[in-house]
Each structure stands twice: as structure tokens, then as C-alpha cells.
Amino acid sequence: MKFEDIKDLMKKPEPKADTYEAGMAQNQLLKIGTHAIKIHNMLDNDAEMESWVAKKIDLASNYVKSVHGYTAGQKAGTYDDDGMTEDAGEGHMSKSQLYATAKMAIELIDMIDKGDDLEGWVQTKLNLAADYLQAVYHYEDYQKLNPY
């Protein structure tokens, strides 16, 4: 599945969770990918942001990265910043993390089959990542309408 395919996933109704953890994980991954792309499109590269917003994006990205590495059967690698310099704006760094997060969420949707038995920590990390990105999305959406 490609990054552009998330647009098609966003148009489809969320998959119904089955009685297994995998169905719930796929639902959370769809939310994670959807919110990551929406937030990515909201942010400007040079944007300053609240520290908690950047922290939630960072945590969500790390959670998805750890699940991705585990599910792929590999150790999770370090964050690849594509040669960004330290003086890049917070928006640029967060957008890069959101892109990587959405990409890994899409890959995980394909890796996890309904009925797979997932460990509890996997579901916990996906739930937290989805919650964090949803909170950031709603905050950024509100800020676009009512800047302070």
C-alpha cells in the first residue's frame, strides 16, 4: 500500500472490529494514519507549536515505530530525518514524523490480519498513538478556526 492510498482509506468506512485484537489494531491504525495525514497537511514547515503538541506527535510516532519494528520482525531503527538540520522549524520536524507515522500505519494495516493474536503492549501503544494524534488534530483544527 502506498502513502497516497490513505486518501482512499479515509473515504471508506472504518473496518468493523472482530473479536480479536487484530481487528481493533487495524481500526486504530486507520485512525492513526488518517489523523497523521490530516495534521501533516495542517502544519506549516516554519510553524511554532505548543510543546505538548510536538511531544504527543513524537510519542505517537515512536509508539507506531516500535510496533512496526516488532511486527516486521526487525528491531525498530532510529529516526531518519532525511538530512534535516537542527535549525529546521518545529513544523518541518513534526511533518516529517507524521509522514513516517502514516506510512508505517499503512504498512502495519497490511501486516496484521484479522484474527491475529497480538500482545497486549502492541494494542496499548496503538491506542495511545491514536489518542495522541486525535488530540493534536482537534487542537490544530480549532487553532485554524480560532487562532490565539
Q: What is the pLDDT of residue 131?
A: 92
Cα distance between residue 148 and residue 137, in whole Å: 17
Cα distance between residue 142 and residue 32, in whole Å: 19
Grid coordinates of 17: 472490529
Q: If you ran DSSP here, which 8-state letter would residue 117 be given?
A: -
* Residue % of the chain over a pLDDT of 70: 72
| pLDDT higher than threshold 50 for residue 41 | yes
Half-sphere exposure of 55 (CA within 13 A, CB side): 3
Grid coordinates of 8: 482512499
| pLDDT higher than threshold 60 for residue 86 | no
pLDDT digits (tens, 9 = 90+) for 101-110: 999 999 998 8
pLDDT digits (tens, 9 = 90+) for 3-14: 666 666 556 555
Q: pTM, whole model, 2 decimals?
A: 0.63
Cite the DSSP H helix spans in 12-119: 21-42, 51-71, 90-111
Cα distance between residue 2 and residue 114, in whole Å: 20
- Return the number of other C-beta atoms located less than 10 Å from residue 52's C-beta: 12
